[in-house]
């Protein structure tokens, strides 16, 4: 059994992690900390866990995190980077659901997250936890920076077109028109998030610039091994879970003969959690609700020169907590799918 600790855990990625870990056959939930909710039973905050999770939120100092094999951080940006060096020194591995270990460049981190990075040297060592791209590195990682929710879907959608230096689409004008359910904004007391402001409504946000933009760019450039240009427009759906990314790429003249359906199927043929749909399919966010699956389809209307890729994921699972468990499985030599094969809830 893997001894797991959780720092944070009062937010949505935290409760989702608890749901997954509590049902994982090889996990022992050892400790959970929250400065704000110390003393409260986890199941009192999240009654869905009643009868399944008996833990009580502990003060950070009281929790024996250093006894754990791995510690997840489901905290605001900036917390993990302060505690990670100590945990590593104690031989504990770290999986951060926030942004502390996503970006390779500390200056870019500071630019977008507004705080200087406290352990920039660890950024080189930290592995970007997208198993479909970095599986082998994840196995041996001590520190995982889990991808953001949008970046997961967008990188997986573009990857087959860019990987291995393929010259299939114009890399300078990639467009990601992405839509996310409101849980992506977290569990925060903000007027802009209340139901009355968002129900029966739809809007774009962050058009000027969004924190996930540099992360996606960095990831796609690593996949393509060359510079790319990306336009990224996130939108807020009046739903709880689910991201739907609609991706646009112009097919290069020399690549007009490509069978893109086949390309995608082959690229993901061994992936347990990426489901390339039959040609013509249009995935729905509910097809992956509460599951770790990503479903992708690729379209080329009228055999023209525009390629459209549709990607759906559950932002709290494959876009966050499930991906964390997937990385943990890899890090501890467990079957990659263990504890993650829950069938999506539909309807």
Contacts (CB under 8 A) with a copy of itself, residues 235-294: 235, 237-242, 244, 246, 248, 250, 275, 277, 280, 282-291, 293
Among 207, 225, 259, 266, the residue binding a copy of itself under the rule CB under 8 A is 207
Given the residues 68, 119, 149, 327, select the one marked as catalytic.
Answer: 149
Q: Based on CB atoms, which residue is closest to a copy of itself, 285 or 326?
A: 285
Among 204, 225, 256, 262, the residue binding a copy of itself under the rule CB under 8 A is 204
- State how far the alpha carbon of 258 is from the alpha carbons of 169, 237, 264, 282, in Å: 11, 34, 11, 21
315 within 8 A of 321, measured Cβ to Cβ: no
Considering only residues 297 through 326, tell me which ones interact with a copy of itself, judged by CB under 8 A.
299, 301-302, 304, 306, 308, 310, 316
Among 2, 4, 6, 15, the residue binding a copy of itself under the rule CB under 8 A is 15
| CB crowding 158-187: b at 16 or more within 10 Å, else e | bbbbbeeebebbbbeebbbbbbbbbbbeee
H or E element that contains 221 = helix 212-224
Known catalytic residue: 149?
Answer: yes
Among 175, 222, 252, 338, the residue binding a copy of itself under the rule CB under 8 A is 175
212 in contact with a copy of itself (CB under 8 A):
no
Angle between helices 212-224 and 106-113 (to 10 degrees): 150
Q: Based on CB atoms, which residue is closest to a copy of itself, 144 or 169?
A: 169
Sign of the torsion angle spanned by Cα atoms 92, 95, 99, 103: positive
Question: What minimum distance in Å lies between the beta carbon of 278 and a copy of itself?
Answer: 9
35 in contact with a copy of itself (CB under 8 A):
no
Question: What minimum distance in Å lies between the beta carbon of 12 and a copy of itself?
Answer: 6
187 in contact with a copy of itself (CB under 8 A):
yes
Measure the CA angle with vertex 244, ends 143 and 98; round to 5°.
25
What whole-number distance in Å separates Cα of residue 147 and Cα of residue 184? Answer: 13
Considering only residues 97 through 156, tell me which ones interact with a copy of itself, judged by CB under 8 A.
none
298 within 8 A of 124, measured Cβ to Cβ: no
Residue with tokens 């797991």: 4
Question: What minimum distance in Å lies between the beta carbon of 287 and a copy of itself?
Answer: 5
197 in contact with a copy of itself (CB under 8 A):
yes
176 within 8 A of 232, measured Cβ to Cβ: yes
Considering only residues 155 through 174, tell me which ones interact with a copy of itself, judged by CB under 8 A.
173
245: β partners = 178, 311
Q: Based on CB atoms, which residue is closest to a copy of itself, 52 or 139?
A: 52
What whole-number distance in Å separates Cα of residue 92 and Cα of residue 80? Answer: 13
Question: What minimum distance in Å lies between the beta carbon of 151 and a copy of itself?
Answer: 17
23 in contact with a copy of itself (CB under 8 A):
yes
Q: Based on CB atoms, which residue is closest to a copy of itself, 116 or 229?
A: 229
HSE-CB at 315 with a 13 A cutoff on CA atoms is 24
Which residues carry out catalysis? Answer: 149
């Amino acid at each position: 059994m893997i001894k797991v600790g959780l720092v944070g855990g009062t937010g949505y990625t935290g409760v989702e992690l608890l749901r997954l870990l509590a049902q994982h056959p090889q996990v022992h939930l050892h400790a959970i900390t929250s400065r704000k909710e110390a003393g409260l039973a986890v199941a009192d905050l999240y009654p869905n866990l009643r009868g399944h999770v008996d833990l009580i939120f502990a003060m950070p100092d009281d929790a024996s995190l250093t006894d754990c094999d791995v510690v997840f951080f489901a905290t605001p940006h900036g917390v993990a980077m302060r505690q990670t060096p100590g945990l590593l020194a104690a031989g504990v591995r770290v999986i951060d659901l926030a942004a502390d270990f996503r970006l390779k460049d500390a200056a870019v981190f500071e630019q977008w997250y507004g705080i200087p990075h406290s352990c920039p040297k660890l950024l080189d060592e930290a592995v970007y936890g997208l198993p479909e791209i970095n599986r082998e590195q994840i196995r041996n990682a001590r520190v995982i920076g889990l991808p953001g929710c949008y970046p997961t879907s967008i990188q997986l959608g573009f990857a087959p077109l860019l990987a291995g230096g393929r010259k299939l689409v114009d890399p300078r004008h990639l467009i990601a028109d992405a839509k996310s359910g409101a849980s992506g904004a977290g569990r925060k007391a903000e007027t802009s998030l209340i139901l009355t402001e968002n129900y029966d409504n739809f809007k774009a946000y962050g058009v000027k610039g969004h924190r996930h933009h540099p992360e996606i760019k960095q990831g796609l450039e690593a996949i393509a091994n060359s510079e790319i240009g990306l336009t990224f427009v996130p939108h807020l759906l009046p739903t709880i879970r689910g991201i739907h990314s609609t991706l646009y790429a112009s097919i290069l003249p020399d690549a007009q003969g490509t069978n893109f359906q086949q390309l995608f199927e082959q690229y993901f043929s061994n992936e347990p959690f990426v489901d390339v749909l039959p040609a013509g399919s249009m995935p729905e966010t509910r097809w992956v609700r509460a599951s770790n699956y990503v479903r992708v389809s690729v379209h080329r209307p009228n055999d023209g020169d525009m390629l459209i890729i549709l990607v759906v994921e559950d932002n709290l699972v494959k876009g966050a907590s499930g991906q964390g468990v997937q990385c943990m499985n890899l890090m501890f030599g467990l079957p990659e799918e263990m504890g993650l094969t829950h069938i999506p809830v539909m309807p």
